[in-house]
Amino acid sequence: MIGWALLALAVVVWSVLGLSGALGTPHPTLSTLVTETTGGLLGRTALFGIWVAAGWAIMRWPSK
């Protein structure tokens, strides 16, 4: 649980630094990466497949 929170925090900090310009122009933010990835049919299809697979894995996750 702590690992997921740290990962989420790192993503948010990276995005904020990228949007503020602190990382410089060559460093993309999460939103620019998603926009570039979903620009074509192949990228949208791949992200949809990952989304479905993640949902399937979550639904099959054993409950305690």
The predicted structure's pLDDT at residue 45: 93
From residue 41, alpha-carbon distances to 11, 26, 35, 37, 48 in Å are: 25, 25, 12, 9, 10
User: 3-state DSSP call for residue 63?
Assistant: coil
12 vs 27 pLDDT, higher one: 12
Q: What is the pLDDT of residues 13-58, one digit of tens each?
A: 887 887 777 766 666 767 777 888 888 899 899 989 999 999 998 8
